[in-house]
Amino acid sequence: MNAINPYAPPKAELDLFLERQYWRDGKTLVLRRNSALPPRCVKCNAVTDGEAAVRKLHWGSLLTLHYRKVKLDIPLCATHSRRYRRARSARLTLRWLSLALVAAFFIAPQLSRAFTLSGYFVLIPIALLLGALAQRILSALEQPLKPLRIDADFTRLRGADKTFLDSLLDFPGR
Ligand SMILES: [Zn+2]
């Protein structure tokens, strides 16, 4: 059954292509869908001890149906890992504080009585808006890499360090 196909690419070349799952395209990090990154910090190129930030990356819009998401382990050194963990815990703390505030508002009657109608219609919307804005800023800060494009085959990411990108081969595709 193992007929030799004279048109097949040389085995070694094929293996190399299949093994290499990540490249650079200028300032963009390109990686094959579901592929892993090398164990080096994407922010300073230091060798990591397997430490990585697990991130769900979203791209596109549900409205236009061009929407994709990928889950990616992003390798980070101890210093950078700490930085992104701090941003994440700041966001989660803020979220819990707002939830606690809303709960307190409903639980403590004297607190809600202190609010007049203007409180309900002005202060709460403003607080909600500021909260949403802060969440947005903090969630951007906790992303080491930002998706530029996610398609069926490749994920393109911005934000990788230059020394990390310099260590990669140029993307051979489009
Ligand atoms: Zn680092």
Average pLDDT in the 91-112 region? Answer: 77
List the one residue out of 131, 104, 128, 100 whose CA is nearest residue 115.
Answer: 104
Instruction: Report pLDDT for 149.
Output: 92
> Ligand 1 centre from 47 Cα, in Å?
8
Q: What is the pTM of this model?
A: 0.71
| Helix H or strand E encompassing 146 | strand 146-150
Q: How far is CA 139 from CA 66, 83, 99, 159, in A?
A: 22, 13, 17, 15
List the one residue out of 86, 94, 20, 33 whose CA is nearest residue 59.
Answer: 33
> Ligand 1 centre from 76 Cα, in Å?
5
CA max distance for the chain: 84
> Ligand 1 centre from 46 Cα, in Å?
6
Those residues whose beta carbon sits under 5 angstroms from the ion ligand 1 are 41, 43-44, 77, 80
* Residue 8 pLDDT class (50, 70, 90 cuts): low
| Helix H or strand E encompassing 70 | strand 66-75
> Ligand 1 centre from 32 Cα, in Å?
23
